Every structure is written in structure tokens, then in C-alpha cells.
Structure 1
Amino acid sequence: MTQDASIDYDRYDHVRPIRWTGDALELLDQRVLPFTVVHEACRSSEDVAEAIHALTVRGAPAIGIAAAWGVVLAGRSLEAGDAADAARQLEPALQQLNAARPTAVNLAWALARMRRALAAVAPGQDWREALERESRAIEAEDLAANRAMGRAGAALIAPGSGVLTHCNTGSLATAGFGTALGVIRAGVADGRVERVFATETRPWNQGARLTVWELGQDGIDATLIADSAAAHLMKTGQVQWVVVGADRICANGDTANKIGTYQLAIAARHHGVKFMVVAPSSTVDMATASGELIEIEERDPAELLAFRGKRVVAEGVRAWNPVFDVAPHDLIDAIVTEQGVVERPDAARMRALFG
């Protein structure tokens, strides 16, 4: 992957959510942004699993990176004679990390890479060093992939366009630069993206709390809208693309992403607005044929019944709180990965790129 000299990555990419200190994993607590910027130190794999489940760290790539470092932390406490013994002892920690968020495929993908790295350790070699080396590689590869995706996705957007994004897919959700937000960053830098809109993304308000804050850190102007204003915005003609991330992309191109993505895809098709999914190839799950087979995570209904810890709904009211939905492939105009772009995705086009 060659770096495009026309994109000043340092200018458009200031935020880092994950820091490895050598002794602990420091995670930027995304639950308290934008008004409080604080890092939570995780010193065990249990701490990392809890941070993933509690949304201290979120975004499919960032979850995978954090989990990899969680395996490194788990290895610190083991007394294992060799890599095979370490693999056996580490398995409960890997299972706990995997269970923290079931929908995002990057989590399982990163843990599988850590298992393979351990299995490849030759007799007499330092298995702990191998785990740390693999974690660093996962993080570095993600940053490089995001920059490549940013260039590829931005190239699809006509100069002077407006874009709408959903949830947070930027540096906060990745090793840096971002997936969908990376396309927007590259598009702004290249003069292709003129207007940026972001949804609130209820119930956790990742768009309101994170996306517009993060863009502001990089000097990119963005306009916040209520989730329910998206279709009306499209009708006004101010946006030409919806650009979103993904937590899992199936073999036919069906895409699971933050709840609300499906209705954006429907509205975009109705209004003639293009719909782009941006995610690393680690998010592509060729073993899952279609979206009907994806396990959709549901969180505590209380997240809908209260705001900042204060109940806002009458007692006795029930709530349903699915975290993701699936946009079918026939509503998607392009899937952008670091391996290439799949336009009008279907099973055959996905297979041609991903095997």
C-alpha cells in the first residue's frame, strides 16, 4: 500500500483510542466523551473483556485490536513451559473475550490470529513475545488498511458532494483514520466531500458524542441531525452518498451495522442517494452466506428507558434494544475494503474478490 502524498494524514487524524504502555492497555473511555477525555487502564484480559462489553472501547476494528492486547495481558499471568501449554491455559481468556460482543466478526478474527501466532511458535522461542508482535501487527495493518480504504472510497465520490454517516467509524473505532470516516477524511482532503452530516445514533449517541467531536478535532466541519431527519435530508438533495461502516459483511454482501443502517439504505435507494459500506477485509465473513444467519446482539432495554442515568420513560413501559440491523446487499452500491471495491455486491462479486 503506497501512501498518497496529497493526503496529510497527520492533519486529518489526531485521535487514538488504544495505547499499549508495555504494562497495561489504556483505552480512551468513549462513554464519557466529548466532555471528559480519560483513559481507562486495563491490566488483565478480564478488564479488557469488561471494557469491550461496557462500550468503553467500541467499533469493530478497535474491539479486535483491544482483544488481541487482552490476550497479551492474559499471557502475562501464566506459568507455561511452552506455546502449546500456553495455548491450553489461554483458551478460557480467549472465550471470555470472544463472548464480550458477539456480532462484530473482527473480535473472533483477531482472536483466531492470536491462536495461529501461538501455534506457529517454534520450540524454545518466546511465545509471549510472539503474542505481542502479532498484536502490534494487527494494529499497524488496520491503520494502513484504513488509509487505503479512505483513498479508494473517496475516489467514488464526485467533487462537491455531501455525505451522511451513521454511528462512529473514525479513529475512535479503529487503530486510526477510520473506515467510513476515513473515506470522508480523504474526501475532504481531496476536495470531493463538501458537506458532512452525521446522525445522533441513538441510544448511545455515538454520532452526537463521538463523530462530530472527532471531526472537529481534525478541523472538519460537520452538521448533526436527529436519526429521524435522515430521509428528509436526502429529499433536500444535500447528500449524494451515505457512507457507513460494518460489523459483519456476509458472503452475498449483506451487511450488519449499527441499528438504523437498514432504514438509511432503504431511504437512500428511494431518493437516488448512493450507499457505501467501508470495512477492512477482516469484517468480511465468507462463512456466513447471508444476513439472516447473523446473530443480532440485544442490549439491556434500560438503555432506552433512561438518559444519563435518569429515567425518562414511565414505569411499566417495556423496550426492545437491538444493537444492529442488516442492510441487504441489493441496497448497497459499493463495499470498500483494503483489498478492493465491490460495486453492486452479490455472492458472485464477493467471491471474485474474497474467494
Structure 2
Amino acid sequence: MDIDTAATGTRSPLLTPAAIAGTELPNRIVMAPMTRLRADTRGVPQPVMADYYAQRAGAGLIVSEGIAPSVRGQLFLNEPGLFTEEQIAGWRRVTDAVHAADGRIFAQIMHAGRNGHPANRLDGGTPEAPSAVATTRPLHTLGGKVDPVTPRAMTTADIRTTIDDHADAARAALRAGFDGVEIHSANGYLAHQFLADNTNVRTDAYGGGPADRARFAIELTEAVADAVGADRVGLRVAPGNPENELVEADPAPVYRALLAAVDPLGLAYLHVTDDPGYPALDDLRPRWSGTLIGNTGEHEETTRESAERLIREDRADLVSFGRPFISNPDLPARIADGVPWAPIREKNFHYTSGPRGYVDYPAAPRKAVAG
């Protein structure tokens, strides 16, 4: 077990500098994207969100919560978007606050796919997905839980429109002051639904064998990279992750095909969530020539020790932390000082509006540095 830096004279590998997209990072600690639902019902980021992200600007990189690229991609009404000028202006307040605190932030672009619901869309429309396969679990709306609806299977024209929406959202993100964007192709959302077995039963060029199942994610990544520059684009994947009822019996061939196509683009990074059933970090690390962010938080609690091990074993270049950043806005400073991490309290306030359970976790007093 590692002891704090001051006591041993050694430096945690998490605290060594790194670089992404030509931007120097002071450490290898990434704040993972986490849904918090503090936008208003038009998807406009609220001022408290600027406080929240600025508090956590000590991370080497912040990846924002999932942001809807369009009305068609909305998951919740109070999920932030990047498809109106008002939303862009709201995000500019957030990015300005992060940069004023010497931080760096990427926008995660997230399309709900079959996880959407008419009650959670500004236009009241039916959600779209690779295939007309509904989830079985109730969905949350501002009016309470509702039964899911069967999504409409996307046509090739829908696919083209959705790809264009992502490219437009990426351009909007840069106008809003983000340093780059992350494409969400994980955790059961649209791009992941194309990759998975049970949510993609298509028989055209976007379904079937590994290369065809990967085609949507490949074309999406290419379009976003073309829109804003590959060095400003990250891609997140979670092979084998069953979140949102996805099934991937044999992820390896699909994700190998995906990486073979997008690795030559020169993306800012690949963000990989590991899984016990398919050790994605071990399989995909040798197939990726660029920066890799590792995440293990979906199946085990990420600790300082487990994160340092990923770096020391060269399974990742940086490590993303999710839940620890909720209650430890100063997580990198706590790691540097060897200060215990604060536990999460009041979990019922994770997804509510307002500051409670959001910006009211204090930073720990800093240890004095001997001169």
C-alpha cells in the first residue's frame, strides 16, 4: 500500500504530468462523466453547475456529464444540451469558471437512443435506436416513473442526421469554450446499442458481423474528428458492460474492429471501462497507439491504490474517477496530501436540482509544505 508523498519522499504516479491534445495536464487524474441533472427543463446549464465543475478543476482533465446533441438524443428534460444558443451560453459560464480555476474540460456528447422517452423530449417525439427493441425497465421522468416505449428503428437517413447532430454539437462545444469532446459509446447509450447483440438486430450495413456493428461508432467518430479535429476528440467504450440491459456475448471482435478503424485518426484519447467478463484494458491497450484513460469504477470501487496500479502496470496512461469526485471536489489534493477521502452522503440528492449534495462537499485543509 502506498503511503503519502510527504511521508516517503516518493511521488504518486497519478500526480505526474501528462498531455492530451497538446495540452499539458498537471496530473493523471480524470474526473469521469456523471449525470447530475442540474440543467433547467430547456437543457440550459444553471449557474450552480459552474460552481460544481470549478470546485473540481484540480483534476488533470474533467469530462462533463452526458450532454444531448439534439432533441432526438435527449435522455431527460433537465439534462443539459448543446443544440440551442441558450445552452451554449450556459456552458460558456461553466467552461469560463473551470478555466479561471486553471482546469481543463471536455464535453461528453451522449445520445439516449432507446433509453429516451417522449415525456423526456422537448418535442415529445418517440426515441430512435438501432432496432425496435425496447428496454424493460421503468424510465424516470419529471412526473415520476413511466413504462418504456418501443423505439423507432433508425433508417439510414436517421443515422446520417444523428451523425451530423453529433458533429454540430462538437462544434457548439468548442464555441462554448470546451477544450474538446468525448463521444459516449458506452454504458448502454446509442453508439453502444449499435455495438451490442440484443439492441442491434439489423440486417443492413450497420448490423451483423463485427465490422458492421462497429460501423456507426466508426462513422460517428470520423465525422466528429473531421468537424473539430481528431486531437480534440476522445472516445469512451465499455465493452461487455450490461448497463441499461445490454448484452455483448463476445465483445472482443467488435471492439477490435472499432479500434482498428479509429486508431489511425489520432484521437485525443480512448476512455475504456474495464469489465470482469472481458478484460478490455488488457485486450485493447496493445491495439491503441495513443493515450488511454482507464476506468474500473463500474465493477469495483476505484481507490488510490487501484488507480496507481493501472498506471504502474502500464494498463492506462490516466485513470478516471467518478463517485469519489462527488464527495471529494479536491480529490487530487487529497491524494497528494495523503488525506482520507470523504464518503458520499445523502445519495437521494444526486439527481435533484439545487446545491444540496452537489456543491456542499468541502475541500480538506491543505497540509503545510516544509520550506
TM-score, L = length of structure 2: 0.27
TM-score, L = length of structure 1: 0.28
